[in-house]
Amino acid sequence: MTDSQFDAAVEKIRNGDKTGLKLIYDAYGDRIYRLFLSRTHNHQDAEDLTSDFFLKLWECAGSYQAGSGHKCWMSAIVRNMAVDHFRKSDRELPAEDVEMLNPSAFTEHTTAEDTTIHHMHMTHMLSFLSEEEQEIVQMHIAAELTFREIAVILKRPLGTVAWKYRNAIGKLQKLAREGELV
């Protein structure tokens, strides 16, 4: 969706026309959901947050400034909502997630099937990364934002974002390699 298409959709929302929100939902619903899922690791939470996101979008469309970069604006909302979600729930990770996050878990699985299971949950390995690295990887892969867009959202230099992304993938590679060597 281009900025001008987004602007037109927001204009519809301002006029109470639901088709404006539907257009944005069709274009970005999956990405928003994936972004929340990658942060919460919980389908229900991700769905609820996605739903809340679009309700919020409906309500605060008036605050959007046309031409200001809609992806960055939406990503900032997602970011704030995710932070609020964790603050409110102050939740601990489910037991199965904790096991996946335990490095020793990699050393306890030796069958090809188990190795495959670990690979299937590589997103859990993101928890080994710093908060910022996780966020950059999620934004780049789950939300398909460019490094330039991420740099704007995080207010970090472009080179720093690309550098941190590369380091993050390197760390994941190392973790995966350690798991496979067993």
Partner 1 sequence: MTKKEIEERLYQEMHQNIPDKEALWQKIEQNLPEQTVSQPVRNRIHMSAGKGFLTIAACLLLTITGMQYLKTNKSENMLSESSAAPAAEIAEEANNDQAAISEEAGGTVSSPEILNYQDLNIIHNQTIASQVNLSRLGTHGEYFSEDEILQDTRFFIDVKILSGYQDTESGNMHYTLQILDVYGGDLNLSEITLETSSAYILEQNHEYVLPVTADLNLAYECAPQIEKTQDENLIIPNGWYTLMQSNAIPVLYTSYGKDDYFYDRMYLTKNLNLDLLIQKWQKL
Give me the residues that bind partner 1 (CB under 8 A), please.
2-3, 13-16, 18, 21-22, 25, 29-30, 33-34, 37-38, 43, 46-47, 50-51, 54-55, 58-59, 61-66, 71, 119-123, 126, 137-138, 140-142, 146-149, 158-159, 162-163, 165-166, 169-170, 172-173, 176-177, 180
Query: Residues with Cβ < 8 Å from 123, sequence gap 6 or more?
Result: 38, 41
CB of 86 to partner 1, least distance (A): 19
In the complex with partner 1, the residue whose CB is nearer, 91 or 148, is 148
Contact predicate 146/82, CB 8 Å: no
In the complex with partner 1, the residue whose CB is nearer, 90 or 105, is 105
CB of 70 to partner 1, least distance (A): 10
Query: Residues with Cβ < 8 Å from 8, sequence gap 6 or more?
Result: 20
H-type alpha helices, 61-140: 70-89, 95-101, 103-108, 112-120, 131-137
Report the alpha-carbon distance of residue 94 to residue 129 in Å, rounded: 19
In the complex with partner 1, the residue whose CB is nearer, 105 or 171, is 171
CB of 132 to partner 1, least distance (A): 15
CB of 74 to partner 1, least distance (A): 14
CB of 142 to partner 1, least distance (A): 4
Of 96, 142, 146, 144, which is closest to residue 121 (Cα–Cα)?
Answer: 96
In the complex with partner 1, the residue whose CB is nearer, 90 or 110, is 110
Query: Residues with Cβ < 8 Å from 131, sequence gap 6 or more?
Result: none
In the complex with partner 1, the residue whose CB is nearer, 54 or 109, is 54
Report the alpha-carbon distance of residue 64 to residue 6 in Å, rounded: 10
